[in-house]
Structure 1
Amino acid sequence: MNTLTYENLHEVKKHVSSQFPYNTYLCSIPLDFTQVPLHWHNDVEIIVIKKGCGIISVDTEPRAVKAGDIILVRPGQLHSISQHEKDSMEYENILFQSSLLYSADSDPRTVEYFQPYFTLEYKLPWLFDNTCSSHEELSSCIDAIDDLCAKRPDYYELSVKGHLFHFFYLLFSSQGSPVTFSRSKSLDKVKQIVSYIESHYTEPITVQSAADYMGFSESHFMKFFKQHLHTTFTSYLNGYRLTIAARLLLTEDDSILSISERTGFNNLSYFNRLFKKEYQMSPREYRNR
């Protein structure tokens, strides 16, 4: 998978074809990248853990995941993927547009079933492991779709849609009566913060400048950030800068000094030290591996 796929926290990259808006990526952490930073997009995303284990966060709730687990990310939900300690993880990343299943012109029942879930009006678990009663059937749906997409027989798209409808039938029917989902307003503030980081990470931003942008006192900002992102602002900022730097090292020919400066580090020694701590190798070794 292209390591620049997740460069934007609010993704606008089109992952799917307009003719058939469904696509699959195979990814590996830490082989492809050590983390996928917090971001959101307008596609539906299903993540299937194939091997190993890692950490996935949805709407700032981090959970340990392992082989066999299925994660559903609805449009607009904040999510990230990261390495668990020194463990590796291979996973299948499925992205498709909700229009593949319904639109405003669909029959009333289909709109009634899908729209409240995909607009985050109704609650829906996002992690389905082997304790879930329908886990085996959910996995079978995905396996069948993968097989169809690999072979691409005539009219395979129709069967893919059929399996997706069955997948969501299993999910929705297992929830019983829908429960209204009042999404925390704090998540919108988290989006503001991570968007600020995306726009300004190349600059010498500080806790105070970020707090001022949000209209918070410095102490309230630090407390809010730690509560919702489970780390400090400085650690998160450095981690994001290092993620971008690592991608640039693999995709561009600029000098290490230039890349460190482009990603907001004004001290090469500090950049080298942080990079080695994060990736267990120097930037030069990372580029030449």
Structure 2
Amino acid sequence: MYLEYICPPMPHLIVAGRSIFRPGDIHERRVLTDIFDLIVVEKGTLYMEEDGYQYTLNAGDYLILVPNKRHKGFRPCLEETHFSWLHFSTTGSFGLEFSSKQQKRKRMNHRKYYKKDDFSFFISNQAHLNTQQTSFILSIIDRLEEVKIDNPAHEKIFFKPKVDEFEAQRLFLSVLDSIRTQEYFSTDFDIASQIYSYIESHSNQSFSLDTLTEKFSYHKSYIIQLTKKHFGTTPAQLHNQFRLEKSRNLLLKTTMSIQEIAEELGFYDAAYFSKLFKREYHSSPKNYRKDFFAHTERKEDTL
């Protein structure tokens, strides 16, 4: 889904900050009136839900939550998670679209000296950033940071602004431009994002590189090259990551057996599933479930 911003005026920054969540912490439930919330995950995994749609955000992922919709964490963090955020707004209008388009500037004529025609720019509401982009955006937010929410230290800190208002707005627009530029001018990123979304939505099915080549009409080697370039992994590895992430969700939110979870996610046997799970999370599925609930019970006892 793409956010379309109608300008002028351009969106403007309200405040930037950083949050550190402990294992077991969950994002609050809220509705931000007329405020967008751009979240960029630096470390760990954040689980967000907006109007019933769930997003699992790993390091390098961003999400823009739109105003006046209820959002919340749909599950607690399983590890220490660091994420930066920008709250911003616009007094102009915006919309949600299923595709984006690049608008060319119109030629000037004698009737347009004193009034700017409306124009739009589009930003995907969520995507994965490459390493360079993630570092760039996090460095910008660090300069803009005025709030730090540190749950492990049980503190919320407010800082003096590091830059003046004009510079803050310029830096904020550079963040939006970095995301927008990637989408408009990186055709291969758009293709890679489509492949990523397709693999995620079909992760319960058995993986087939032949199916991807037929679906997207590209050679196998090019598809592998794209996913490695933008997501740091092969399509097959992405497929397993999505399945394992879903398995964590089933382990902690259902009473399904390990065998049932393996079958649900298309693993050919429970032993193979357990082997992959332990390789990824350094614990067997059984112990992972046991340790999580033991930690949750200890936390409840201290409250």
**Normalising by the residue count of structure 2, what TM-score does the alignment of the two structures yield?**
0.50
The equivalent residue for 1:127 is 137
Shift of 1:48: 7.7
How far apart, in 2, do the equivalents of 1:50 and 1:265 lie? 28
SS at match of 2:93: coil
Match of 1:268 among 267, 270, 273: 270
How far apart, in 2, do the equivalents of 1:28 and 1:211 lie? 40
The equivalent residue for 2:90 is 101
Match of 1:46 among 39, 43, 51: 39
> 1:240-261: CA deviations, max 9, x gaps?
1101101110011111111112
- Contact 2:37–2:64 under 8 Å retained in 1: yes
> 1:233-287: CA deviations, max 9, x gaps?
1111111110110111001111111111212212211101000111111101011
How far apart, in 2, do the equivalents of 1:170 and 1:229 lie? 30
Question: Could you say what the CA RMSD is over the residues aligned between the two structures, in angstroms?
Answer: 5.0
SS at match of 1:91: strand
Q: One-letter code of the match for 2:205?
A: E
The equivalent residue for 1:185 is 187
The equivalent residue for 1:56 is 59
How far apart, in 2, do the equivalents of 1:167 and 1:258 lie? 56
What is the aligned residue count?
203
- What are the residue-to-residue correspondences of 1:9-48 with 2, within 5 Å? 28=21, 31=23, 44-47=37-40
How far apart, in 1, do the equivalents of 2:235 and 2:215 lie? 14
Q: One-letter code of the match for 1:234?
A: A
Question: As a proportion of its length, which structure holds more strand?
Answer: 2
- What are the residue-to-residue correspondences of 1:86-235 with 2, within 5 Å? 89-92=80-83, 94=85, 100-104=89-93, 116=121, 126-129=136-139, 135=142, 138-140=144-146, 142-143=147-148, 170-172=168-170, 181=181, 182-235=184-237
- Contact 2:200–2:239 under 8 Å retained in 1: no
Shift of 1:91: 2.3
Question: Share of identical aligned residues, percent?
Answer: 23
**Normalising by the residue count of structure 1, what TM-score does the alignment of the two structures yield?**
0.53
Instruction: Name stretches of at least 5 consecutive residues in structure 2 with no aligned partner.
Output: 3-14, 26-35, 45-57, 67-78, 95-114, 126-132, 150-154, 292-303
How far apart, in 1, do the equivalents of 2:234 and 2:288 lie? 26
- The answer to whether the aligner puts 1:247 opposite 2:249 as a matched pair is yes
Shift of 1:175: 7.7
Q: One-letter code of the match for 1:101?
A: T
Q: One-letter code of the match for 2:92?
A: S
How far apart, in 2, do the equivalents of 1:207 and 1:268 lie? 23
Q: One-letter code of the match for 1:56?
A: A
How far apart, in 1, do the equivalents of 2:249 and 2:284 lie? 14
Structure 1 residues 235, 92: closer, same or farther in 2, change over 3 A? closer
- Contact 2:19–2:148 under 8 Å retained in 1: no
Shift of 1:118: 5.4
Shift of 1:191: 2.2
Structure with the larger RCO, 1 or 2 (CA within 8 Å, 6+ apart): 2
